[in-house]
Amino acid sequence: MVAENIKTNSGRAELIDGAVVANKIKQEVKSEIAEMVDKLGVRPGLAAVRVGDDPASAVYVKNKIRACEEVGIRSEHHALPASITADQLLSLIQTLNTRDDIHGILVQLPLPKGIVESQIIEAVSPDKDVDGFHPMNVGKLAMGQQSFVPCTPAGIIELLDYNNIELRGTSACVVGRSQIVGRPMAQLLLQRDATVTICHSRTRDLAAVTREADVLIVAIGRIGLIRKQHIKPGATVIDVGMNKLTDPAQIQEMFGDQADSRLAVLAKRGYTLVGDVNPFEADQVAGKRTPVPGGVGLLTVAMLMKNTLMAAKRQIS
Ligand code: NAP
């Protein structure tokens, strides 16, 4: 059994604080926007399009709108009924594409069944595609050209840089190959000269691969799947997962002697937010790790603000 051979570190892994980096980025964006408004009379504008009544999507969009207010981006929220047709949605996007006061467009995913997501993503102008999901931007990223980079992986790079985590020449492993996290993450690590491995649900011996990584980035949506046998001693572990946990026994297993505060959150809210990494076990092996919440999630919104500012700068230049 591999787990028995795992060396443990002497104490807890150092926590990487997402709030510090996210706030720094938002402050920088805010002061650039103030200058842009002052000197050019232009305020960046973001349109958020949400379809249907998925409660998680509503919360995500609300957080993005709140961040816009914080940094001085003018935002508008198009909350549309699930009954909207693809043609109606495409027509709204066409209008937003042509408006001079809208520099960025985000379509909150997932879209209701019946609407083909790829058709909607491709309808957004690549110049206003602040989520970086348009095939043109995906292709540019793959070619190492300047493009809009999806916010979560872009934020992870900021987090690694701010914490002086070496990437050049190191072994980096990304678990998950989604279009929004895993694949663009791997591209960005490659651009930084890491030696990159991508794992997914068909990877035969996941722990054998992840255990080789100096930097392990996990985006799978499986509660606490990454345990100590998956982690190289001293590695940096970035937990992208965002899952709701409602089982007290599982909370105990994931948080050990730190479980009480999570059980209190469970009692209050009916769930607690957890990642794809078991923090109690990761702390015994990893050198550094991001917490959930308080880690990667905060960067995603901050990078959306940064991408919207970048879109405005490009469109007015
Ligand atoms: P996704 O589209 O569902 O993709 C999940 C990926 O994980 C797939 O590539 C899948 O492999 C792989 N996978 C699933 N089970 C696995 C297993 N047992 N072993 C190895 N790989 C496995 O997910 P996503 O959109 O990338 O999101 C992943 C997680 O990150 C979710 O918890 C999501 O909520 C969270 N998230 C957080 C943020 C943030 O801002 N913090 C942003 C985006 C996503 P296959 O390709 O083979 O199916």
Share of the chain above pLDDT 90, in %: 95
- Centre of ligand 1 to C-alpha 176, Å, is 5
Tell me the best of 63, 158, 181, 209 to mutate to test the pocket of ligand 1, counting ligand atoms within 8 Å of each CB and taking the most.
181
* Residue located via tokens 């706030």: 23
Contact 295 CB / ligand 1 (< 6 Å): no
Contact 220 CB / ligand 1 (< 6 Å): yes
Q: Which residue has the higher pLDDT, 5 or 261?
A: 261
Vertex 200 angle, CA 196 and 205, to 5°? 85
Check if the beta carbon of residue 176 is closer than 8 Å to that of residue 220: yes
Report pLDDT digits (tens) over 114-168.
999 999 999 999 999 999 999 999 999 999 999 999 999 999 999 999 999 999 9
Q: What are the strands of the beta sheet with 74-80, ordered from one edge?
A: 74-80, 45-51, 104-107
| Residues that are catalytic | 64, 108, 131
Q: Which residue has the higher pLDDT, 43 or 258?
A: 43
Phi, psi of 157 (to 5 degrees): -60, -40
Contact 178 CB / ligand 1 (< 6 Å): yes
Contact 272 CB / ligand 1 (< 6 Å): no
The residue whose C-alpha atom lies closest to atom 1 belonging to ligand 1 is 178
Check if the beta carbon of residue 287 is closer than 8 Å to that of residue 166: no
Q: What is the mean pLDDT of residues 193-221?
A: 98
Check if the beta carbon of residue 232 is closer than 8 Å to that of residue 211: yes
Phi, psi of 59 (to 5 degrees): -65, -45
Contact 97 CB / ligand 1 (< 6 Å): no
Report pLDDT digits (tens) over 40-53.
999 999 999 999 99
Q: What is the pTM of this model?
A: 0.95
Task: Tell me how far apart the alpha carbons of residues 311 and 291 are, in angstroms, rounded to a whole number.
Answer: 30
Residue 7 clears pLDDT 90, i.e. is over it: no
Neighbours of 273 (CB within 10 A): 16
Identify which of 46, 2, 3 has the alpha carbon closest to the alpha carbon of residue 306: 46
Residue 5 clears pLDDT 80, i.e. is over it: no
Identify which of 99, 122, 109 has the alpha carbon closest to the alpha carbon of residue 44: 99
Vertex 256 angle, CA 254 and 262, to 5°? 70
Report pLDDT digits (tens) over 45-95.
999 999 999 999 999 999 999 999 999 999 999 999 999 999 999 999 999
- Centre of ligand 1 to C-alpha 313, Å, is 32
Residue 13 clears pLDDT 80, i.e. is over it: yes
